[in-house]
Amino acid sequence: MSQADLQARYGAVMMNAFGAPKRVFERGEGVHLWDADGRRYTDLLSGLAVNGLGHAHPGVTAAITGQLGRLGHVSNFYASEPQIRLAERLAHLTGDPTARVFFTNSGTEANEAAFKLTRLTGRTRIVAMEGSFHGRTMGALALTANEKYRAPFEPLPGDVTFIPYGDVDALRETVDDTVAAVIVEAVQGENGVVPAPDGYLAAVRRVTEQHGALMWVDEVQTGLGRCGDYLAHLPSTVEPAGVENRADLITLAKGLGNGFPIGACIATGKAGDLLQPGQHGTTFGGNPVAAAAGNAVLDALEAGVLENARSTGQWLADAVRELNHPLVDHVRGHGMLLGVVLTGEVAARVADAALDAGFIINAPRPDVLRLAPPLIATPEDLQPFVDALPGLLSSTQVEPASSASSLETPEASHRA
């Protein structure tokens, strides 16, 4: 059926939670997608940082189909070898032999599990960051700063204090012996790809240790290679900061299954012993098929995809900077998670123009374009987008604003 026919069917049967879909896609391969009318697109969003290995990755496809042919589901009264192996590998990424894993189906569920776990400390207060995004379920939403998302569903689970992201003084003034956990992202993706300032995660680690609170890092978007490392808050290129930054709670999802639903909450040290039988659960979390997908993703990352994410991500950031377009103020981010900060609030219009031109990107803020290509993408894959970007920007026909950027965060001047 045509694109228009499918969009009409969608509108007639689906709840209006997302608005009308701009395209209906029917297949994908590598860095490309094809819509229902047969038109090809270059995917620079990866399903919101999910398809790190691109579409229809043969290793993930073989792992899922092979596992489903052997054993698909047994419930969490029982276990499977793929589940145990994936947990071992994720625990190993933390560098902490005490790490323990709880599997979920998504990022918001991973954050729900971590939120419940913090209550088992005997404290209830959480410190979260302005500009944060942690999910749409009631608990995760309580930790998310965006008032537009929160207001329709209040009252939310309480005792959450929001502080400016990256402000060490505010962190020190707010965290005390009543705080159960501080939740932070290494890069705030939904806030416009805003990296934590240098030294901020280490400051969170020091302050939480001083007050007996948990350091909780949400790596749902940034983890599993998206920022060029397995975990963005433990960069392999920085020593000894990795040890200093190590979190008590780490939440993962998105890239872990390359499109197959899976998430994980990892706890280290004493936090790993808090959750006991009967205190939390999930029917599908960590099922054999999801675990097989996760293991296949880790296999690919180990085989060289991480190095490609770092090198191609740097190439893309440099290529956009070198355009020297008057609407581009700067580019920030890490690896394959980049924010192109504009000098005018035209990002949504640029994203729409890009889609019409066959490139998938998005606008998390009015003046920011988010680029999150598959980690397997090469400069050759992305060069057509770079070539097209000046025309896409100029098509908005808006004079640059006088200010450098309308994004009001402590990280507004950060350069990746």
* CATH topology (fold) of 3-56+304-394: Aspartate Aminotransferase, domain 1 (3.90.1150)
CATH of domain 59-301: 3.40.640.10
Q: Model confidence at 408, in pLDDT bands (50, 70, 90)?
A: very low
pLDDT tens by residue, 97-106: 999 999 999 9
pLDDT of residue 222: 98
Which of the 8 DSSP states describes residue 321? H
Task: Report the candidate in 20, 7, 53 with the shortest Cα–Cα distance to residue 224.
Answer: 53
Q: What is the mean pLDDT of the chain?
A: 93
With 0-12 / 13-18 / 19 or more C-beta atoms within 10 angstroms meaning exposed / middle / buried, residue 198 is exposed
pTM of the model: 0.93
Which residues are CB-contacts of 241 (< 8 A; sequence separation ≥ 6)? 202, 235
Secondary element (H or E) of residue 35 = strand 32-35
pLDDT tens by residue, 191-246: 999 999 999 999 999 999 999 999 999 999 999 999 999 999 998 755 444 567 88
pLDDT tens by residue, 147-194: 999 999 999 999 999 999 999 999 999 999 999 999 999 999 999 999
Q: How far apart (Å, rounded) are the C-alpha atoms in residues 285 and 219?
A: 18
pLDDT tens by residue, 334-346: 999 999 999 999 9
Q: Model confidence at 410, in pLDDT bands (50, 70, 90)?
A: very low
Tokens representing 63?
Answer: 């792992």
- pLDDT (average), residues 399-403: 46
| Intervals of CATH 3.40.640.10 along the chain | 59-301
Tokens representing 175?
Answer: 């965290």
Q: How far apart (Å, rounded) are the C-alpha atoms in residues 50 and 59?
A: 16
pLDDT of residue 243: 60
Q: Model confidence at 134, in pLDDT bands (50, 70, 90)?
A: very high
Task: Report the candidate in 304, 327, 326, 307 with the shortest Cα–Cα distance to residue 315.
Answer: 307
Tokens representing 176?
Answer: 């005390």
pLDDT tens by residue, 15-59: 999 999 999 999 999 999 999 999 999 999 999 999 999 999 999
User: Which is more confident, 411 or 280?
Assistant: 280
Inter-CA distances, 325 with 76, 192, 257, 381, 414, Å: 54, 19, 37, 21, 19
Q: Model confidence at 403, in pLDDT bands (50, 70, 90)?
A: very low
Which of the 8 DSSP states describes residue 230? S
| Intervals of CATH 3.90.1150.10 along the chain | 3-56+304-394
pLDDT tens by residue, 89-130: 999 999 999 999 999 999 999 999 999 999 999 999 999 999
Under a CB-based contact definition with an 8 Å cutoff, are residues 365 and 315 in contact? no
Inter-CA distances, 56 with 61, 258, 267, 336, Å: 6, 9, 32, 19
pLDDT of residue 236: 72
